[in-house]
Amino acid sequence: MDEVIRVDNLSFSYPDGQSALADLCLTVRQGETVALIGPNGAGKSTLLLHLNGILRSNGVVRIFGRQVDDKNLRWVRSKVGLVFQDPDDQLFSPTVFDDVAFGPINMGYSEVEVRESVTRALNWVGMAGYELRSPHHLSIGERKRIAIATVLSMSPEILLLDEPTGNLDPRSKWSLTSLLKRLPMTKIVAAHDLELVRALCPRTIVLDHGQVIADGATSHILADVSLLAAHGLAPAKTS
Amino acid sequence: MKHGFIDRYSDRNSFMHRLDPRTKFVTTLLFILVVALTPPNSWLAFALYLALIATLLLASTVPIGYVLKRSLVIIPFVVMIAIFVPFFKEGEVAGSYNVWLWQVSVTYSGLQVLTNIIIKAWLSILSLIWLSSTTKLPHLLHGLEQLRMPRVMVMILSFMYRYLFILVDETMRMKQARDSRNFGGGRLWQIRTIGNMVGTLFIRSYERGERVYAAMAARGFDGQTRTLNHLNFRPVDAYFGISCGLILILISLFSLS
């Protein structure tokens, strides 16, 4: 089973009628790190929300070959971890421990397993010892790391990250990038930040108007200046 | 941005801080109940209550200046509710004044009710300050949960604790953005602007609520709330709770007799 994510002709419109995804097709293989780039409103976040079943439209998303539907949602969410863009949305508990433990507790782990997975996840993101702190006392970089830990504690096999380095200063950005590089699972990273994409992801997908515009090696796609300019990812050419 | 926190000083380490949150919660509740039920004019009883709560506060190593300053927040509320009582309560007249067309008189029993309300409110807020500055809010919430408070209400309180400061930040940012564009104009215009800000804040909070729910669902939340409990009720909690309860009951019996 090499293909971990398969999306066939996924279409989705928001309740107000605004179309977000149109006939989108995509496959991701085991162990890949894929960048999802595109202008604001291209459908990146909407696509990520489909991949772990928060949004479900016409049942054409397959994870490890199984269709995402109402019955296997819990299984899907234990396999696919989604890290949201704003850590203040992701961290809703009074303490860091409660937040990182939230997923494992919902998965029905025993107390010992919960504690182990919390410790492991916090070690992974370099935030051991922060268990009893309140999220609102932490810096944005620290909160981003904790947000990743809340998902790692569930030991997902696929990690979806929405703008992992948004709002970070360069130092925090690069230390987070090297952290993400060390994580062994399959990753999909939605980003505007082409420096991050170049450093982290061998494969890049360009998304615009809810469709895949280009899909290929990062070096190839980022070298195509006219493609990037056409989709708002590089300055328009002035001649 | 910087705020004062609800549970400031709760990270200190004293005997009071180490007590089980449930002990402190029940003691506070009992204290407030007993104070509220004390008949008016029981000055000695009030003095003893004050002595009790002052002892607890001193033992908790929280700066007294902070406690006094914080306890003042209750005054406007009490005054707003009770300020007219002396004028309407019937009884022996303490003083009578002519204000323009009306004759206004203040009665002794009315003044008594007012002082009573102020004293009781102040004693109650002192005990709440003691509770909140010796107990971290997350621990208090765990305690409430174990005291069989409905889990949904505990969750609502914990969300409030988590998002209150984010909302305050958001409001401050909006206020700064407004001021930096030279907020002026007529009174009506200002009120309209504030109305728009409140509306925006509501919509933003609502949308944040949706995103938070998505983040919860993404980690397997299915409407069932689960939790790990790690509070331990030690003998010292029992001693403390029982002796505080006894003191309170003795004082109230004494004031009734």
A residues 195..214 contacting B (CB < 8 A): none
pTM tops 0.90: no
Does B230 or A214 have the greater pLDDT score?
Answer: A214
A106/B222 touch (CB, cutoff 8 Å), yes or no: yes
Q: Which of A47, A106, A138 to probe the B interface (max B CBs under 10 A)?
A: A106
Supply the ipTM of this predicted assembly.
0.79
Please indicate, yes or no, whether residues B53 and B90 belong to a single structural domain of this protein.
yes
- In the prediction, which pLDDT does A2 show? 83
The answer to whether residues B241 and B222 belong to one domain is no
Does residue B71 share a domain with residue B181? no
B138 and B162 part of one domain: no
Q: Residues A150, A135: contact at Cβ < 8 Å?
A: no
Neighbouring residues of A125: CB distance < 8 A, sequence distance ≥ 6: A145, A146, A148, A149, A152, A179
The total number of structural domains in chain B stands at 2
How many angstroms from the chain centroid is the CA of residue B225? Answer: 27
B64 reaches A (C-beta below 8 A): no
Q: Tell me whether strands A61-63 and A66-67 are parallel, antiparallel or unpaired.
A: antiparallel
Given a contact cutoff of 8 angstroms between Cβ atoms, the answer to whether B231 and B146 are in contact is yes
Are B167 and B99 members of one domain?
no
Q: Percent of chain A scored above 70 by pLDDT?
A: 97
Contacts of A107 in chain B (CB under 8 A): 220
**Cα–Cα distance, A124 to A118 (Å, whole number):** 10
**Same-domain pairing of B43 and B104:** yes
Cα B48 from Cα B125, distance rounded (Å): 16
B177 and B121 fall within a common domain: no
Domain that holds residue B171: 150-226
Confirm or reject contact between B84 and chain A (CB < 8 A): no
> What mean pLDDT do residues B100-124 have?
84
Phi, psi dihedral angles at B186 (to 5 degrees): -75, 170
Q: B215 and B243, same structural domain?
A: no
Sketch out chain A's domains with CATH numbers.
3-85+157-230 (3.40.50.300)
Residue range A142-164, pLDDT digits in tens: 999 999 999 999 999 999 999 99
Residues of A in contact with B227 (CB under 8 A): 105
Q: Are residues B34 and B109 in the same domain?
A: yes
Question: How far from B156 is each of B62, B141, B162, B208, CA to CA, in Å?
Answer: 28, 10, 10, 15
What percent of chain A shows pLDDT beyond 90? 45
What is chain A's mean pLDDT, rounded?
89
Q: Residue B224: list chain A partners with CB under 8 A.
A: 106
Query: Which residues in chain A are closer than 8 Å to B207, comparing Cβ atoms?
Result: none
Same domain, B242 and B222: no
pLDDT of A230 above 80: yes
Same domain? B130 vs B255:
yes
Q: Is the pLDDT of residue A47 over 60?
A: yes
pLDDT given at position B1: 43
Dist CA B148 CA A39 (whole Å): 49
Residues B106 and B177 in one domain: no
Mean pLDDT of A87-95: 87
Q: With an 8 Å Cβ cutoff, is A151 touching chain B?
A: yes
Q: What is the pLDDT of residue B257?
A: 67
For residue A1, the model assigns a pLDDT of 55
